[in-house]
Structure 1
Amino acid sequence: MNPIVRLESVSVERSGQRVVHEVDLTVGRGSWFGLIGANGSGKTSLLRALAGRLPFAGGSCRIDGDELILDRAARATRVGFSPPPDKLPDALRVREALELIGGGIDEILPRLGPLRAALALDALLNRWIGDCSAGMRQRIAIALAFVDAPALVILDEPFNWLDPVASFDLRQALRAMVDNGLTLMTALHDLGTLAAACDTGLMLADGRVAMALDDNLLRTAAQNPQAFERQMIDLLRSNGDEVNGRFGLGTGVSAL
């Protein structure tokens, strides 16, 4: 593996409470990494810290080999990040929000590659964000993560609020971009997407690593997604206790 991200024993605190505890993970360059866990498991806090939106409380964070655990600004510069859709500024048009981050719209649109069509972005450019539906806001937020054409992008639950057609088109576009060299990290609730789209991943439970999901396991999961879903639900119900060997997931499963 040629890692672009390596986290070792990282922790994150919010409002004085530790919500991520000594997590290790490695993300290979040009791959799709999925992060899964129940609500409150620490997924969003971990990804926001990696993207520089929160500080780390300890550990090591290397991006492209550079130690950035104390440099939030550098992490934010290197990582494309999708903002919360409900926090987008109502008083801006979509075009203006994109240009605020990425420069002229004629420069931005080609950078989006297949996402431009998948997100049906052209039809949104002149709309006020305040007039957009939840699904439209989600599409805008995803586009904002890509306006600078970063090599590493983090999306938090990107398929929320999207209809089935938009979800399918987005997944296909993201997979094509990963195959073309993008490194993508996504927090997910959809086990089907995790099995079908991601190359590797991690399950969190109560802010701790419950299971590493390697490429062998996810290839097997894609062949039998129903069995995979049942096994993952069992793990999520039990908060990831007794992971190794308990559910017959095979040699591809290992605790970090």
Structure 2
Amino acid sequence: MTTTVSISEVTKNYGRIKAVRGASFDLDQGEVVALIGHNGAGKTTLMKLMLGLIRPTGGRIEVLGDNPAAGQFAGRRRLGYLPESVSFDTALTGRETQAFYARLKREPVARAFELLDAVGLGDASHRRVGTYSKGMRQRLGLAQALIGHPQVLLLDEPTTGLDPELRQTFYEAIQQLATTGTTVLLSSHVLTELEERAGRVIIMNRGVKVADGSIERLRNIARLPTKIWLQVAGLPPGELPSWLPADAPSRRVNGRVVEIDADPERKIELLHKATASKSAVEDLDVIPPSLDELYAHFLRKAELTP
């Protein structure tokens, strides 16, 4: 696997404020990586460091074989970037804006115009950007970020202002780019979106990387309970199934639903007991710890670590 971005012991200080503290990780070709954390965790700072917009206080950064902090960063042409707050010249039309960025990257303007159709701005491309809604400006930002089929794509809150249909279209485009070798690093507070789409998650807390791995790996590390939901017929209100071990935390949620908190090593045991029991289990769901729950767990753990 080819490494496209390498971050090694990177720090970034703004006076007394330590925005990034000793962060280290690599990003590989074709990866879709979610970078998550609270506001001020260092996510946007890391992206700006990768772009060469700011220089690190310490450590080493390499992007597509170049040092972004160097005076000449040739790799920037092979990057795509969507900032959290997009801003364009409101006097230009969508087509004029897209043509401007295509020429900056020395890419064919005609192909850049095709991206306007891809993000649903084809019919509005001749209108001035000043007439665009927030969601339309976000779509224009996505279109410019995709110019030239970037080898590394950095997306900071990319789906803000997008309707559900366009969000789905956006993530389909991201997955397609990844299959052709683009490294995608995206940051979002909508963790439910990232859970199904990111192959890897990096969690930041106050400038420090506190977790890094696939969702499954983070679940194995966190050891949070899996929720088992059972719909049981004929069980009196408030009662729990007789087969349920006393040391398995459980509760009645509503009507016939029983919710069990199953430790990872007991999940199969409890499922066997449920299906083998004489009680009429009409339906069941097994719900592993969500990314929201994992995120909260690792932040709590970081706060408790001296």
Q: Which residue of 1 aligns with 2:52?
A: 52
Aligned position for 1:232: 295
User: Would the aligned equivalents of 1:94 and 1:128 in 2 still touch at CA under 8 Å?
Assistant: yes
> 1:95: Cα distance to partner?
0.7
Aligned residue identity for 1:182:
T
Q: Residue 193 of structure 1 aligns with which residue? A: 193
Q: Which amino acid aligns with 2:197?
A: A
SS where residue 8 of structure 2 aligns? strand
- The residue identity in structure 2 corresponding to 1:232 is Y
| Structure 1 Cα separation of the partners of residues 194 and 209 of structure 2 | 17
CA distance in 1, matches of 2:152, 2:132: 27
Q: Distance in 2 between matches of 1:216 and 1:84?
A: 28
Structure-2-length-normalised TM-score: 0.69
RMSD: 2.7
Hey, what does 1:131 align to over in structure 2? 131
- The 8 Å contact of residues 51 and 80 in structure 1, kept in 2 or not, is answered as no
Residues 63 and 125 of structure 1: is their aligned pair in 2 closer, same or farther, counting only changes over 3 Å? same
Contact 1:82–1:141 (Cα < 8 Å) also in 2: yes
| Larger relative contact order (CA 8 Å, sep ≥ 6) | 1
- Pair 16,149 (structure 1): closer, same or farther in 2 beyond 3 Å: farther
Letter in 1 for 2:292: E
Could you list the runs of 5+ residues in structure 1 that have no partner in the other structure?
244-256
Q: Equivalent residue of 1:11, what SS?
A: strand
Say if 1:67 and 1:83 are closer, same or farther in 2 by CA, change over 3 A.
Answer: closer
For the 8 Å contact 2:52–2:69, the answer to whether it is kept is: no
Q: Which amino acid aligns with 2:302?
A: G
Identity of paired residues, percent? 25
Paired with 1:193 and 1:234, the residues of 2 have a C-alpha distance of 19
**8 A Cα contact 2:219 2:294, kept in partner:** no
Distance 1:87 1:170, change over 3 A: same
C-alpha spacing 1:76/1:64, structure 2 compared with 1 (3 Å): closer
Distance change >3 Å, CA 59–CA 128, structure 1 → 2? same
Post-superposition shift, 1:226? 5.2
Could you say if the C-alpha distance between residues 93 and 17 of structure 1 is closer, same or farther in structure 2, counting changes exceeding 3 Å? same
Give the Å deviation of 1:227.
Answer: 3.4
TM-score normalised to the size of structure 1? 0.81
C-alpha spacing 1:156/1:143, structure 2 compared with 1 (3 Å):
same
The 1:69/1:86 distance shift into structure 2, 3 A limit, reads: closer
User: In the aligned structure 2, how far is the partner of 1:168 from the partner of 1:130?
Assistant: 26
Do the aligned residues in 2 keep the contact of 1:52 with 1:74 (CA within 8 Å)? Answer: no
Cα separation, partners in 2 of 1:191 and 1:42, compared to 1, 3 Å: same
Of the structure 1 ranges 42-51 and 68-77, higher mean CA displacement relative to structure 2 is found in 68-77
Moved >6 Å (runs of 4+): 218-221
Query: SS of 1:8's equivalent?
Result: strand
Q: 77, 93, 112: which is aligned to 1:108?
A: 112
Q: In the TM superposition, what is the alpha-carbon distance from 1:72 to its structure 2 partner?
A: 6.6
Whole-Å Cα distance in 2 between the matches of residues 27 and 242 of structure 1?
28
Task: Name which of structure 1's ranges 91-100 and 73-82 shifts more when overlaid on structure 2.
Answer: 73-82
CA distance in 1, matches of 2:59, 2:47: 15
What is the letter of the counterpart of residue 229 of structure 1?
D
Displacement of 1:214: 3.1
Of structures 1 and 2, the larger Rg is shown by: 2
Count residues with an aligned counterpart.
237
